Structure 1
């Protein structure tokens, strides 16, 4: 047996005419079988479908906390429902052409290559990192181009055209040359319509969740967190520093300063003062499930079951891994069910997700805390809305601990104080949340249908 027989190698014979002098590409992935497949189709370069494709120049990032300035998104946050809240100056955003506009197609080109997002009303006007390419697509093509670049064919091309020995990257000059198949205009129109309708669904979902968040404050008579002026010994308010009393020390004997941060203190005081009916999370939900630890045998989609990690729960379209159905111990314990609320417990803390018309029957990492509301005591949609609000988030964060990687535990978050408005008010908020999640599911369904149309057109199935 030859040594090569032990490996599953992909080899391709390349015609010398494919090696153009202007590209001088001799890296193997540039001549993948996917490219040979595309070469057999009628194509035009991506630039043909666009008014402009560009990357802003490199710039020094000076992040602010001033909400009057321009909201900033890093490359990794393009595909996120819950990006980090950071700002850069409006003047810098405008001078460097960092702001994105509705309808532009955004393409990540550094590290994780090929995350695609059509700029929607949610991020319209935000400043976006310079390593995200902007494609200003001609009218009637933005949804189609986004669908193709997000497809297995287009995404593979983006990675094939990328360069870099250690960290892969690709920018506008290379992206503009990506070959886009020319298919029937009516199919293009159908794909475009489905993708843009998916964008609208996510915009409507975002609006519903914002309304739910506003009602959480209104029905509980709670002031917005921006109105909170926590006590501090620093007259310039550059540092959150205050004195504590011995009666604030709990049986946990917490000596880390963050546990006594003034924002969390005021939040708890506000709930006690303004919400006559409130309870600890421990009394209204089951937080005891810790998730099963087992060796993860990753397999392909056909032989596995979707596995959610901490980053997946905030992604617009999760890039699942799949674990083996037959070789994973305690698989049943890892399965998710409707009504559960997931909370990230390590690394980036406090990210939340409601299991509703999305990941029922999937599995999840032990690094995601499961909260199962007792529906006789609280509406699950309302509880999700509160935990994902500032009043819930800062209570979760006060318990973080860890010398290297931040952690929170089920026992700790179960001490969070939850206001309980009238049952009909809880249901109103919960119904908004559930409607928002239905729209998210609809968006994914529409994108899947668009991808199916694209695949049929390219393979003529």
Structure 2
């Protein structure tokens, strides 16, 4: 199929001869917005550093583990994470030299290098986070436009195509602030814009509460089982696994990492209180990887939305749909924990991280690379297990169970023997309910953002031109 391009469009697009600006929907979106009776250029509704639309320079990064000497640091993928507990930390010395790269609540963050146009809204608990040069910030002028409304426009089907179409570069795509400065922002008066803003702000509040509740559940877990000292466990502050002796080796594994001092000491502490092994808890449930299958891509809304290991940790998975196979193994039950259990365990990699599948996420299909952990014991819920398995301590224990030569896997024998401390019934139920409420808030936050987007879309489509 051919798509005609008018000669006067070339001037509008800076005489670009590549197809992207003309086939991405950006031109149609701009023409539609330009025809509205009231629009403003993006750089007219922003303020702050460099006019309020900016990214950073290239700079050397020094990552630290100690929070006293570092700040949370967001790259163009990290900013998409639902749980920000595992984002890397940048040296404060470097951060202080680039103080304008600190995120402020209400900012819109846009990935501007690599994959263009991914977005995040800076919520209150992200104050004090720094961003990389691969993240463009849009700082709204609060006297001109509500921040939530501006974010909703930028992530709408009108804003994203125009942003993406501005990208340049043959291999790694980029956009610069001046490429989006003239985006036409539709204005609809105070009532609608304020309503959209309030929905986004409430969504941001719920996402911050989701984060706080998960952290509180893990703290509560360790305190309830008598291991409060492990709640703030710092792996790198312990003595390194060098020159140690292991007694009672078995043919199961002779690999040094499976018998490291730090991991062995952690498992011993977990086993020092009333506990059961993970294998015992999951005996009537599931404790295995998913089945392999042939992936057949399909269109949005057809089949199942597919979630890979990286996207499982994002606020929303990107649109990738596959045809539903005959086997139901791609779906997981409510309160099943899925863990990244195939890949390479780089320091800031995903291997060993977990999510709880519940609520809206039970409708998704999950890659076979995920380890499924489902309790078969009605007395130990998945939500309770997750309070432990989401912790940095469990993350390190998963990595002590490596098996394989290339892409690593989790050794099933060590996994089944992992000690799980058991709290009293009242403590168990309280911890589990904290986790469940966190995920209910997360689902509600998604719904509010969708409602805000729908309000704006209807306003643009229904406006007289």
Contact 1:118 / 1:199 at 8 angstroms: preserved in 2? yes
- Are the structure 2 counterparts of residues 221 and 12 from structure 1 closer, same or farther at C-alpha, using a change threshold of 3 Å? farther
Residue in 1 that maps onto 2:40: 44
Contact 2:308 / 2:367 at 8 angstroms: preserved in 1? yes
- Name the SS of the counterpart of 1:371 in structure 2: strand
Which of 97, 104, 107 is 1:104 aligned to? 107
Matched, 1:339 2:335: yes
Which of 198, 202, 207 is 1:202 aligned to? 207
Q: Which moved more, 1:381-390 or 1:118-127?
A: 118-127
Matched, 1:190 2:189: no
Contact 2:244 / 2:261 at 8 angstroms: preserved in 1? no
Matched, 1:297 2:296: yes
Residue in 1 that maps onto 2:452: 450
- Name the SS of the counterpart of 2:351 in structure 1: coil
- Are the structure 2 counterparts of residues 231 and 294 from structure 1 closer, same or farther at C-alpha, using a change threshold of 3 Å? closer
Q: Distance in 1 between matches of 2:424 and 2:188?
A: 55
- Are the structure 2 counterparts of residues 44 and 127 from structure 1 closer, same or farther at C-alpha, using a change threshold of 3 Å? same
Contact 2:306 / 2:367 at 8 angstroms: preserved in 1? yes
Q: Distance in 1 between matches of 2:10 and 2:276?
A: 69
Superposition deviation, residue 246 in structure 1: 2.5
CA displacement, residues 103-161 of structure 1 (integer Å, 9 cap, x when unaligned): 22111111121121121233211121111011111225211121122222211211111
Which of 103, 123, 126 is 1:123 aligned to? 126
Which of 224, 229, 238 is 2:230 aligned to? 224
TM-score by length of 1: 0.89
Matched, 1:278 2:301: no
- Are the structure 2 counterparts of residues 447 and 382 from structure 1 closer, same or farther at C-alpha, using a change threshold of 3 Å? same
How many residues in Structure 1 have an aligned counterpart in Structure 2? 440
Superposition deviation, residue 227 in structure 1: 5.6
**Unmatched tracts of structure 2, length 5 or more:** 344-349
Contact 1:19 / 1:26 at 8 angstroms: preserved in 2? no
- Name the SS of the counterpart of 1:295 in structure 2: coil
Q: Distance in 2 between matches of 1:178 and 1:442?
A: 30
Q: Distance in 2 between matches of 1:310 and 1:228?
A: 25
Q: Distance in 2 between matches of 1:37 and 1:72?
A: 34
Residue in 2 that maps onto 1:76: 77
Residue in 2 that maps onto 1:56: 56
Q: Which has the higher contact order (CA 8 A, sep 6+)?
A: 2
Aligned residue runs from structure 1 range 26-37, under 5 A: 26-32=17-23, 33-37=25-29
- Name the SS of the counterpart of 2:168 in structure 1: coil
CA displacement, residues 284-341 of structure 1 (integer Å, 9 cap, x when unaligned): 013344322221111112322111211122111111411113xx342x2222221211
Residue in 1 that maps onto 2:117: 114
- Name the SS of the counterpart of 2:374 in structure 1: strand
Residue in 2 that maps onto 1:5: none
Which of 163, 166, 172 is 1:167 aligned to? 172
- Are the structure 2 counterparts of residues 228 and 100 from structure 1 closer, same or farther at C-alpha, using a change threshold of 3 Å? closer
Q: Which moved more, 1:221-230 or 1:289-298?
A: 221-230
Q: Distance in 2 between matches of 1:19 and 1:187?
A: 34
Q: Distance in 2 between matches of 1:411 and 1:320?
A: 36
- Name the SS of the counterpart of 1:394 in structure 2: helix
- Name the SS of the counterpart of 1:358 in structure 2: helix
- Name the SS of the counterpart of 2:363 in structure 1: coil
- Name the SS of the counterpart of 2:125 in structure 1: coil
- Name the SS of the counterpart of 1:19 in structure 2: helix
- Name the SS of the counterpart of 1:122 in structure 2: helix
Q: Root-mean-square deviation (CA), in Å?
A: 2.3
Matched, 1:137 2:137: no
Q: Distance in 1 between matches of 2:454 and 2:73?
A: 34
Contact 1:143 / 1:196 at 8 angstroms: preserved in 2? yes
- Are the structure 2 counterparts of residues 346 and 373 from structure 1 closer, same or farther at C-alpha, using a change threshold of 3 Å? same
**Unmatched tracts of structure 1, length 5 or more:** 1-7
- Are the structure 2 counterparts of residues 298 and 246 from structure 1 closer, same or farther at C-alpha, using a change threshold of 3 Å? same
